[in-house]
Structure 1
Amino acid sequence: MLSILPQANILKSAALGANDEATNASSWSCLALKDKLKLREAKLDKIVRAINYAKLEKEAAELKLKLVELESTMAATDQIIKDLKSKCIMNYAKGCEDFRD
């Protein structure tokens, strides 16, 4: 029985060593997975930022188009106001002439 104890201790040590190696391998595997996850998260962040940037660019283009439309409407309104002022001045002048007669 005494001769079995050293062999059992050797087997126990070997098993513990294998367990440590497995634990280390598992830790390295876990770290590698964490690194992969971080890389994927970074890629996803870049994609999300690109999509958001594209949306903002689209909104900006739409707003610029609306601004051009508003400027066009303002210019048309300004022209209408000028025409109305001219008509008012002409009508006022005509009214004054009619009054003189």
Structure 2
Amino acid sequence: MDGAAEEIIDNPPAYLTPTYLTLNLSRVLYFIKKGKISSKREGGEWGVKNLPQKFQQLVNQCLNEYNGETDNSNVDSQNFLAFVEYMIQEIKQNISFS
């Protein structure tokens, strides 16, 4: 594995939190599906309304943390990993290069 990649995996930057990843993956999929550039908040709000129900609580929890309504939300790690896998699959399936 490349040295830089190993370093990121072994010592991930502090900003790579579940909230950061959840909201950014939501905004990426929002952009791919609707063509709208959005903030993390807007992407999360779209995700709460449009992603499968099993992920809506996670996205809402991350939005609450992002909005300062809760401190240091602890997310369900299994649901978070399932969310990441789902989102990567959705992004890959919906991306098109015109």
Give the TM-score taking structure 1 as reference length.
Answer: 0.21
Structure label with greater radius of gyration = 1
Normalized per residue, the structure richer in helix is 1
Q: TM-score, normalised by structure 2?
A: 0.22
Identify the structure with bigger relative contact order (alpha carbons < 8 Å, sequence gap 6+). Answer: 2
